[in-house]
Structure 1
Amino acid sequence: MLTVLEPEGLYPDTALEQEILGPGVRVIRGGGRGGVEELPDSLCAEADGLFIFRHWLPGSQLHRFPKLKAVVRMGVGYDRLDRPALAARGVKVCNVPDYGTTEVADHAMALALTLRRGIALHHDLQRADPPAPWQYLETPLVQRAETQNFGILGLGRIGTAVALRAKAFGFRVVFFDPFLPNGVDRALGIRRVRGLEELLAQSDVLSIHTPLTRHTRGLLDEAALRRLPRGAVLVNTARGPILDLDGLAACLRDGQLAGAGLDVLPEEPPKEPVHPLLAAYRAREPWLTGRLIVTPHSAFHTPQAFEDIRRKSAETMRDVLVEGRNTNVIAADAD
């Protein structure tokens, strides 16, 4: 009999997983809520399959899993897994790329519109003591959508969903993605540019939708952000380490960027002492009033999306571990 571990205890039972995986698989829930390090060696020694959601799986822990054959990352990104170490042991690594697409796209648009319409700004000002006057405010944040280029970095499932939403709101949508074939722009009725610098130079709003790889880590540093038009808005619902927070802080402080919406941070959850930008945000320093929105990596979440994660993760584990398929398997040499 095969054994699959779900160490984080995400759901109240294992009934759905057991139904999908079948009678030849034993599903064990919990035992490592704080991390895989908490799992007893005896349990690790039995695991043929492992679900990973919030935890990290470093190579230093793999010797405790001598039977491990498949790891399913219960999400799109797989930077929490030591893929070279897993590949060296012949362990298949999978993700779940097709959940939460609409939620993340909605969230990215909500952040962009909340900033560009001055909603966060007026919200902050109207609850101040004393409240601001009952009138509009002239600010670089507030601009008409149809006068703005909405830049998308990475046109995968989520990037495409954002492009369609931005287009519906009247933005002029432009994207950069070197991995897509010719003609995608024509199919969607949006514009494509050939390089990152060209995208940055044109993006009044920039929404990040690229995966975190060795090539995209630190991709948007201060120099890159200063290529955006002055007064631009930046949204990141992808991965925190793609964006340099020092550069973001500098560009917000001097007005190069009018605003930013972040659902992800380089360190999650943030630990004390937190980055100075996050500290200023939490302290409600006046220079950030209405200009920075932070959400706790929650863009993916609805009750429906959380159920999708559960079902699709179990289906992927069944396909790979039980049936020997390659559903959602990440190639060992993938970036």
Structure 2
Amino acid sequence: MNGPLHPRPLVALLDGRDCTVEMPILKDVATVAFCDAQSTQEIHEKVLNEAVGALMYHTITLTREDLEKFKALRIIVRIGSGFDNIDIKSAGDLGIAVCNVPAASVEETADSTLCHILNLYRRATWLHQALREGTRVQSVEQIREVASGAARIRGETLGIIGLGRVGQAVALRAKAFGFNVLFYDPYLSDGVERALGLQRVSTLQDLLFHSDCVSLHCGLNEHNHHLINDFTVKQASIEMREEAAREIRRAITGRIPDSLKNCVNKDHLTAATHWASMDPAVVHPELNGAAYRYPPGVVGVAPTGIPAAVEGIVPSAMSLSHGLPPVAHPPHAPSPGQTVKPEADRDHASDQL
């Protein structure tokens, strides 16, 4: 005689409503609910009390206070490579495992980075804007004027800070366009530069000194916060020339402090922010007009690429959750062997909560 049927575990997509990717992957092992929340205050009590697994993108933040609201949570899967929006130390203290998808959107992010760099060299956005504003080019002088700032790529040097997955993908693409590529990454083992045909430098100052364009591909943390600052730019300017700031044509907002305005003119610094490491509104006023940026997260978007990235980790992560030690949540959390009485809406494959 068969034993009692146990309800399928509840897995919640916290900050989204489209479960078309997750459903085919989890339909046989879990009930999937979508919350479409921007904070835990918007998450249904049922999810906070019963969800054993949570999927999340970058548009919601989980602090210790937020994590303590979940009474049965065993595992969090961050759909993407970064996990800045999760207090992983507190998650560990509470017995919640945190996974990410390091390979997610590597190609898309690298492609978008090259789009930014090519745009800055060939001025496509500025030319398009001029055309929309009614500019008509009829003479050689007008061509030169409207294309002011455009530069030839071949022979230029691209400096990459952080040669991880995306950094390597950018380097290979840049070489195909004619860039000389050098990189700075103190954490990378020796020999990678030989395998990829790149040049390695030992200091950030060396990279800034020799680069015509700089692209940052290091996860934002306490070690590289404000990595590009007034001191590094001033030092490079002294060693190179007064307009060294023009060499830094691309940077990520979270690594550039407000004090940078003291050493460069806004005409000499162009920032292309491509990820939501910080609120887009914090782009320094000095950069307005000289900067262009995409909406956060756009560079990594490719709907056809998301299923593969999610499929690579979600099933194993959910299976892993059954073998994790007891959850160290505050009192009232269900015991590891306690089952929750199934409810009518559990029969549905996907619910909004």
TM-score by length of 2: 0.77
Q: What amino acid is aligned across from residue 278 of structure 2 in structure 1?
A: E
Cα distance change of structure 1 residues 247 and 76 upon mapping to structure 2, 3 Å threshold = same
- The CA deviation at 1:129 is 5.2
Larger radius of gyration: 2
Select 1:8's aligned residue among 3, 15, 19. Answer: 15
2:178 corresponds to? 170
Q: What amino acid is aligned across from residue 167 of structure 1 in structure 2?
A: K
For residues 130-153 of structure 1, what are the alpha-carbon distances to aligned partners after superposition, in whole Å with 9 as ceiling and x for unaligned? 556641239883332233210001
Q: What amino acid is aligned across from residue 276 of structure 1 in structure 2?
A: P
1:51 corresponds to? 55
- The CA deviation at 1:117 is 1.6
For residues 1-55 of structure 1, what are the alpha-carbon distances to aligned partners after superposition, in whole Å with 9 as ceiling and x for unaligned? 4221112234155xx535434644222222x423222113332111211111121
CA distance in 2, matches of 1:130, 1:20: 52
1:99 corresponds to? 104
- The CA deviation at 1:323 is 6.6
Cα distance change of structure 1 residues 315 and 24 upon mapping to structure 2, 3 Å threshold = closer
For residues 162-200 of structure 1, what are the alpha-carbon distances to aligned partners after superposition, in whole Å with 9 as ceiling and x for unaligned? 000111111110001111111100001110011212112
1:293 corresponds to? 292
Q: What amino acid is aligned across from residue 51 of structure 1 in structure 2?
A: L
Conservation of the 8 A alpha-carbon contact between 1:21 and 1:322: no
Conservation of the 8 A alpha-carbon contact between 2:55 and 2:79: yes
1:261 corresponds to? 272
CA distance in 2, matches of 1:140, 1:251: 20
1:307 corresponds to? 307
Q: Is residue 234 of structure 1 aligned with residue 233 of structure 2?
A: no
Conservation of the 8 A alpha-carbon contact between 2:184 and 2:203: yes
Select 2:198's aligned residue among 185, 190, 199. Answer: 190
Q: Where does the alignment leave 5 or more consecutive residues of structure 2 unmatched?
A: 1-7, 238-243, 325-353
Q: What amino acid is aligned across from residue 72 of structure 1 in structure 2?
A: V
- The CA deviation at 1:211 is 0.6
- The CA deviation at 1:222 is 2.6
Q: Where does the alignment leave 5 or more consecutive residues of structure 1 unmatched?
A: 282-287, 325-335
Cα distance change of structure 1 residues 316 and 71 upon mapping to structure 2, 3 Å threshold = same
Give the alignment of 1:12-51 within 5 angstroms. Answer: 12-13=19-20, 17-21=22-26, 23-30=28-35, 32-51=36-55
For residues 208-228 of structure 1, what are the alpha-carbon distances to aligned partners after superposition, in whole Å with 9 as ceiling and x for unaligned? 100111111221123223426
Matched residue count: 305
Cα distance change of structure 1 residues 104 and 252 upon mapping to structure 2, 3 Å threshold = farther
For residues 61-108 of structure 1, what are the alpha-carbon distances to aligned partners after superposition, in whole Å with 9 as ceiling and x for unaligned? 122112211111111110000111111112111111112111111111
1:206 corresponds to? 214
Conservation of the 8 A alpha-carbon contact between 1:103 and 1:301: yes
Q: What amino acid is aligned across from residue 45 of structure 1 in structure 2?
A: N
Cα distance change of structure 1 residues 231 and 141 upon mapping to structure 2, 3 Å threshold = farther
Cα distance change of structure 1 residues 10 and 323 upon mapping to structure 2, 3 Å threshold = farther
Select 2:74's aligned residue among 69, 78, 81. Answer: 69
CA distance in 2, matches of 1:250, 1:124: 29
TM-score by length of 1: 0.81
Give the alignment of 1:213-224 within 5 angstroms. Answer: 213-224=221-232
CA distance in 2, matches of 1:103, 1:154: 17
CA distance in 1, matches of 2:261, 2:174: 23
CA distance in 2, matches of 1:128, 1:263: 26
Q: Is residue 84 of structure 1 aligned with residue 84 of structure 2?
A: no
Deviates more, 1:300-309 or 1:75-84: 300-309
Cα distance change of structure 1 residues 39 and 4 upon mapping to structure 2, 3 Å threshold = same
- The CA deviation at 1:203 is 1.4
Q: CA RMSD in A?
A: 2.7
Conservation of the 8 A alpha-carbon contact between 1:21 and 1:317: no
Partner-residue secondary structure (3-state), 2:163 = coil
Conservation of the 8 A alpha-carbon contact between 1:5 and 1:49: yes
Q: What amino acid is aligned across from residue 242 of structure 1 in structure 2?
A: R
